[in-house]
A and B are shown apart, each in its own frame.
Chain A
């Protein structure tokens, strides 16, 4: 599958933890202003691949990659690329909600401040929280600690925090796995409304979620001989779920896997 103008593009990407190759030979293209899901059984390297997109992998000692990831025509892993700059442009939402132990307002405003935001901070906070569908719930308690919010609210706050920086891509690492079904639904609705402004890549172990919420799906699987994860199929979500080309994908999406 070749897209006209992908945001992210990997070429023969291999990711290592020490000597162990966790992800092998990934060649995918992430389409602009779409939601791309990465699915697959646990331990197949989904999160590892996702974290490679904004160089969060480097926070784990002894990781390195081979191959390249092209973002806006530049290799993210080029010699003179600044990982801080990369993360400024490619934001991330994590599996467990992890708000800062500060006020709700500060959670959203902090990153804007360190990046030298010159606009009106109050407006930025309001618009980010509105986009994250949280504004109505928190507008009267902005000074309260973010830790007083429920799990679902905390996760939407983390999304508001990420979009306040106005990144081009938002990576979401199983953002709803720690939440109840209602909160999960809210996050999925939120993703739909965000995709007109942002490119979203989401890792999920929940196939229904991928089927419901994403435009494209990338199926990952462990190679049998090497125990290393790789992308076995990358398609429009509809196609992948209804007419999978790979037998393993078919087994997985129909629940016959394992």
Chain B
């Protein structure tokens, strides 16, 4: 009470309640901003899930029911019957090509059935709906189906999950209902393999140099500044660099021609190894910076103890610094690698292939990767490709989530013990 009276008679205005109220409003505004950020993530996920499940109308050129022989359904027939079916329905040229890839008799049942689906039955997606529509507009969908059925008597209405076991197993196809991402998954794995082989040893080596060896002189400061700058260069610039250096200037190397290696599927340097090295250059600064932090976190007392025993610099680094920095280095590397797995732009510039049906099998193969596949499918106007792109996104996100989780687990498991 006394305080209040003093305030009333003083030069200070009694504005505390006003100040507190505006504080409350701003607090709500700050919270709202945070929530918007999280809502954006939710919207993104919901949007993708919405596209991954839903009704589709598919039609086949030949109704599978008409292919039953002696009452045995198509799916239950023997491989020999299937091969006969293929021979009856395919041109001799197409058959010959298939036999060259791999003789039909040696193919698995799954593979054969895939051929029947794509070459004989030739499924075609006529119409697709999102999950939301499928759940809440069932009546409209049925009406639409009935009207389409007039023109396509064989059309079927199915509830389809675009992400399914077959997606990962199947290769590219010109028809959305039978297309898969096997080639892209393998392409991503091959590419990342070379990224790791290139960037991990170099990155850790550079970090060791900068933290343990480099004196404070202009050259080493230049190297450090330069690495920080490189981390901020847009990824597409790395693509241009990769195009000029790996694809073009080093073509004899990256196409494999120098090693007398002529992959029938490649004719130039737009290969797995070029892509891997380009991404390697891209993540190198990230790996270096992360590894530097991990090395810096190793307490100085360990180094002193080691030197005090008469160990050389490398003995100290190898026996004490690296083992203690390793979890941090690996965590940083995994994060950098997950960045590389999601990169699209540099690989478009380096020349990812638009359509390949062959799996990459050597460093000198043509390639496509998961993000490239998403990009291409997203860019197509027909809605069924968007659904496929969404399914691929889910696959990619789950993969990245696993990597991130691994990084976090690694970090927690080896939390500082000194």
Are A and B in contact, CB atoms below 8 Å, in the complex?
yes
Interface, chain A (partner B; CB < 8 A): 54, 56, 59, 61, 84-89, 91-94, 96, 98-101, 110-111, 114-115, 147, 158, 161-162, 165, 167
Given contacts A94-B301, A98-B301, A98-B302, contact A56 B418 (CB under 8 A): no
Known: A94-B305, A147-B417, A158-B305. A88 touches B310 (CB 8 A): yes
Q: Which residues of B contact A88 (CB under 8 A)?
A: 309-310
- What's the Cα separation between A217 and B417 when bound, in Å? 38
Q: Which chain A residue lies CB-closest to B299?
A: A98
Complex Cα–Cα for A115 and B306 (A): 12
- CB–CB B311/A84 < 8 A: yes
Asked whether B177 is an interface residue with its Cβ less than 8 Å from the other chain, the reply is: no
Is A84's CB under 8 angstroms from B310's CB?
A: yes
Question: Are A61 and B310 in contact, with the CB atoms below 8 A?
Answer: no
* Cα separation A110 to B320 with both chains bound (whole Å): 10
Contact: B304 with A165, CB < 8 Å? no
Q: Is the CB of B309 within 8 A of A162?
A: yes
Contact check, B309 vs A87: say whether CB atoms are below 8 A apart: yes
Q: Name B311's contact: one of A93, A114, A158 (CB within 8 Å).
A: A114
What are 24 A-B residue pairs whose CB atoms fall within 8 Å in the complex? Answer: A54-B308, A59-B307, A61-B216, A84-B307, A84-B311, A84-B312, A87-B307, A87-B309, A91-B308, A94-B305, A94-B308, A100-B305, A100-B319, A101-B302, A101-B417, A101-B418, A110-B319, A111-B309, A111-B310, A111-B311, A114-B315, A115-B310, A165-B309, A165-B310
Interface string of B97-139 (1 = CB under 8 A from A): 0000000000000000000000000000000000000000000
A93 to B304, CA, bound (A): 10
Distance to closest chain B CB from A52 (angstroms): 14
Min CB gap A62→B, angstroms: 8
- Chain B: residues with CB nearer than 8 A to chain A? 215-216, 299, 301-312, 315, 319-320, 324, 417-418
Q: Which residues of B contact A111 (CB under 8 A)?
A: 306, 309-311
Q: Which residues of B contact A56 (CB under 8 A)?
A: 304, 307-308
* Apart from the given pairs A56-B308, A94-B301, A111-B309, 5 other A-B contacts in the complex at a CB distance below 8 Å: A84-B312, A86-B310, A87-B309, A165-B310, A167-B310
State in angstroms the CA–CA spacing of A96 and B305 once bound together. Answer: 10
- Write out the residue numbers on chain B whose beta carbons fall within 8 Å of the beta carbon of A91: 308-310
Closest to A164 in B: B309
In the complex, the answer to whether A100 meets B302 with C-beta atoms within 8 Å is yes
Q: Max chain A CB contacts within 10 Å: which of B299, B311, B418?
A: B311
Minimum C-beta distance from B412 to chain A (A): 17
The answer to whether B310 touches A89, judged by C-beta atoms less than 8 angstroms apart, is yes
Among B215, B304, B311, B315, contact of A59 (Cβ-Cβ < 8 Å): B304
Bound-state CA distance A72–B336 (Å) is 53
Chain A residues whose C-beta falls within 8 Å of the C-beta of B301 in the assembled complex: 94, 96, 98
Q: Which of B303, B308, B310 has the most CB of A within 10 A?
A: B308
Q: Would you list the 10 A-B pairs with minimal beta carbon distance, nearest first?
A: A88-B310, A92-B308, A98-B301, A111-B309, A87-B310, A98-B305, A84-B312, A114-B315, A165-B309, A101-B417
Taken together as a complex, chains A and B put the C-alpha atoms of A59 and B303 apart, in Å, by 9
- Residues of A within 8 Å of B320, CB to CB, are 100
| Nearest chain A residue, comparing its CB with the CB of B216 | A61
Asked whether B418 lies within 8 Å of A161 as measured between CB atoms, the reply is no
In whole angstroms, what is the CA distance A87 to B308 when docked? 6
Nearest B residue to A170, CB-CB: B308
Q: Give the tally of cross-chain contacts (CB within 8 A).
A: 70
Question: A91 to B312, alpha carbons, bound, how many Å?
Answer: 14
- List the A residue with the shortest CB-CB distance to B307: A87
Cross-chain contact A98 with B304 (CB below 8 angstroms): yes
Instruction: Report how far A113 CA is from B404 CA in the complex, Å.
Output: 38
Q: Which of A61, A98, A100, A110 contacts B215 (CB 8 A)?
A: A61
- Min CB distance A140 to B, Å, is 22
- Min distance, Cβ A91 to any Cβ of chain B, angstroms: 6
The answer on a CB contact under 8 Å between A114 and B302 is: no
**B299 / chain A contacts, CB cutoff of 8 Å:** 98
Residues in A with CB closer than 8 Å to B216 are 61
B218 CB to nearest chain A CB (Å): 15
Question: Considering the chains assembled together, what is the distance between the CA atoms of A140 and B214 in angstroms?
Answer: 43
Per the bound structure, the CA–CA distance linking A61 and B329 in Å amounts to 25
A199 to B21, CA, bound (A): 73
Q: How far is the CB of B381 from chain A (nearest CB, A)?
A: 59
User: CA A161 – CA B299 in complex, angstroms?
Assistant: 18
Residues of A within 8 A of B309 (CB): 87-88, 91, 110-111, 161-162, 165
Q: Which of chain A's residues has its CB closest to B313's CB?
A: A84
Q: Find the B residue at minimum CB distance from A161.
A: B309
A161 surroundings in chain B (CB, below 8 A): 305, 309
Complex-state Cα separation, A87 to B303, whole angstroms: 13
- CA of A165 to CA of B307, assembled, Å: 12
- For A99, what are the chain B residues with a Cβ–Cβ distance below 8 Å? 305
B157 CB, nearest partner CB in chain A, Å: 64
Interchain CA distance A167-B417 in the complex, whole Å? 30
Residues of A within 8 A of B307 (CB): 56, 59, 84, 87
Residue of B nearest to A96 (CB): B301
Q: How far is the CA of A59 from the CA of B300 in the complex (A)?
A: 10
Residues of A within 8 A of B302 (CB): 98, 100-101
- A147–B324 Cα gap in the complex (Å)? 14
- The CA-CA distance from A88 to B308 in the complex, in Å, is 7
Interface centre among B216, B305, B309, B324, by most chain A C-beta atoms within 10 angstroms, is B309
Q: Residues of B contacting A147 with CB < 8 Å?
A: 417-418
Give every chain A residue within 8 A of B324 (Cβ-Cβ): 101
Contact A94 B304 (CB under 8 A): yes
Closest CB-CB distance, A55 to chain B, in whole Å? 9
Q: In the complex, which residue of chain B has the Cβ closest to the Cβ of A61?
A: B216
Bound-complex Cα distance A88 to B315 (A): 13
Residues of B within 8 A of A86 (CB): 310
Distance in Å from the Cβ of A99 to the closest Cβ of chain B?
Answer: 8
Contacting residues, chain A, for B311 (C-beta < 8 A): 84, 87, 111, 114
- Cα distance A100–B305 in the bound complex, in angstroms: 8
A111 to B307, CA, bound (A): 10
Instruction: Specify which chain A residues have a CB less than 8 angstroms from the CB of B308 in the assembled complex.
Output: 54, 56, 87, 91-94, 162
Alpha-carbon distance between A224 and B15 when the two chains are bound, in angstroms: 58
Q: How far is the CA of A167 from the CA of B311 in the complex (A)?
A: 13
